[in-house]
């Protein structure tokens, strides 16, 4: 092999190694973790959240305050859980565990965002309608057009006329105006990733974020790792704080019988509730 060809081969090897290094999966042991608490919201859609006669915090939302800013203190939830579990807020039946922490880690490179969730999924739920999936873990990213996107996260997709709400209609979650990227991992079928999108209805497939996911259970703890493109669907970018929300369906729960987070942010090179590590 001549010197010129040898140089090209060596250069190609280094370039390939560099590409593998740049886009390799994160070393999660070196990525900081934030605990975000999820809770059972009962039948509290966005209309309830913004209704002055029902929710005293609606006036704060009109002033630009966030849900988390009012209800998260020193990393812990400040909520009237007894009210959320009451017949007023949950006419069907509340779960035995109303709130629990989810560890959230994030990292990014030039192409992808990686998000890792760690949690113990509680039993004792009221609804067990999803017989195929013991657990579903979801993350939603609203675009800037979604109602209260920066203040309430994915709550803008939850409406009182959804089919699992009291007196609801045959509708799924929806976002009007705007759209949300929806990525989900579920236990059924040996573990499956969904790359979805929410617009005028929820579509569990057809998203443009190139979502992949893998999950495992060790003892009583689930670990779910998502990968999505930065430039896909709702565009994410370094130097920005990205709004997002987490939802966990545990104990074969379906529909609204999940535990959800308030709207939070992932900071890609900037401050956020979750600080993404640059790869």
pLDDT for the residue numbered 111: 97
Q: Is residue 84 part of a domain?
A: yes
Find the mean pLDDT for residues 183-210. 97
Q: Is residue 28 part of a domain?
A: no
Q: Is residue 9 part of a domain?
A: no
Find the mean pLDDT for residues 3-14. 40
Torsions phi, psi of 13, nearest 5?
-65, -45
Cα-to-chain-centroid distance, residue 15: 34
Bridge partners, 223 (sequence order): 118, 216
CATH code at 246?
A: 2.60.40
∠272-274-276 over CA atoms, to 5°?
A: 95
Give the pLDDT confidence of 13-26 residue by residue, as tens digits. Answer: 434 444 343 457 89
Percent of the chain with pLDDT over 90: 87
Give the pLDDT confidence of 148-195 residue by residue, as tens digits. Answer: 999 998 999 999 999 999 999 999 999 989 999 999 999 999 999 999
Domain count, the chain: 1
pLDDT for the residue numbered 183: 98
pLDDT for the residue numbered 8: 38
Tell me the Cα Rg of the chain.
Answer: 20
Alpha helices in 56-116 (DSSP H): 58-62, 67-71, 81-84
Q: Which residues form the domain of 143? A: 34-278
Distances (CA, A) of 24 to 114, 150, 184, 223, 239: 10, 30, 21, 18, 21
pLDDT band at 48 (very low <50, low <70, confident <90, very high): very high
Find the mean pLDDT for residues 204-214. 97
Q: Is residue 203 part of a domain?
A: yes
Q: Which residue has the tokens 């893998």?
A: 214
Distance CA 70, CA 55 (A): 12
Q: In terms of Cα–Cα distance, which of 71, 68, 69, 49 is closest to 59?
A: 49
Q: Is residue 7 part of a domain?
A: no
pLDDT band at 52 (very low <50, low <70, confident <90, very high): confident
> Rounded mean pLDDT of the chain?
91
Q: Is residue 44 part of a domain?
A: yes
pLDDT for the residue numbered 23: 56
pLDDT band at 75 (very low <50, low <70, confident <90, very high): confident
pLDDT band at 231 (very low <50, low <70, confident <90, very high): very high
pLDDT for the residue numbered 53: 84
pLDDT band at 5 (very low <50, low <70, confident <90, very high): very low
Q: Is residue 23 part of a domain?
A: no
54 vs 72, higher pLDDT: 72
67 three-state secondary structure? helix
Distance CA 141, CA 156 (A): 11
Q: Is residue 11 part of a domain?
A: no
């Amino acid at each position: 092999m001549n010197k010129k060809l040898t140089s090209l081969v060596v250069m190609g090897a280094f370039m390939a190694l560099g590409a593998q290094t740049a886009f390799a999966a994160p070393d999660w042991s070196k990525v900081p973790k934030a605990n975000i608490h999820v809770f059972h919201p009962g039948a509290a859609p966005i209309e309830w959240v913004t209704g002055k006669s029902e929710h005293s915090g609606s006036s704060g939302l009109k002033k630009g305050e966030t849900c988390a800013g009012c209800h998260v203190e020193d990393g812990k939830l400040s909520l009237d859980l007894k009210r959320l579990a009451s017949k007023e807020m949950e006419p069907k039946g509340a779960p035995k565990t109303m709130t629990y922490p989810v560890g959230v880690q994030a990292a990014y490179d030039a192409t992808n965002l990686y998000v890792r969730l760690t949690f113990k999924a509680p039993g004792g739920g009221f609804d067990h309608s999803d017989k195929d999936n013991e657990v579903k873990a979801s993350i939603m990213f609203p675009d800037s057009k979604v109602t209260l996107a920066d203040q309430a996260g994915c709550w803008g997709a939850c409406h009182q006329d959804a089919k699992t709400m009291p007196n609801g209609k045959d509708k799924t979650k929806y976002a009007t105006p705007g759209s949300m990227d929806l990525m989900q991992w579920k236990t059924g079928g040996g573990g499956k990733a969904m790359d979805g999108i929410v617009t005028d209805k929820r579509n569990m497939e057809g998203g443009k974020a190139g979502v992949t996911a893998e999950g495992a259970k060790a003892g009583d703890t689930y670990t779910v790792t998502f990968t999505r493109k930065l430039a896909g669907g709702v565009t994410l970018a370094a130097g920005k704080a990205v709004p997002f929300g987490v939802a966990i369906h545990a104990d074969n729960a379906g529909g609204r019988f999940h535990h959800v987070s308030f709207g939070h942010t992932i900071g890609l090179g900037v401050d956020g509730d979750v600080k993404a590590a640059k790869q």
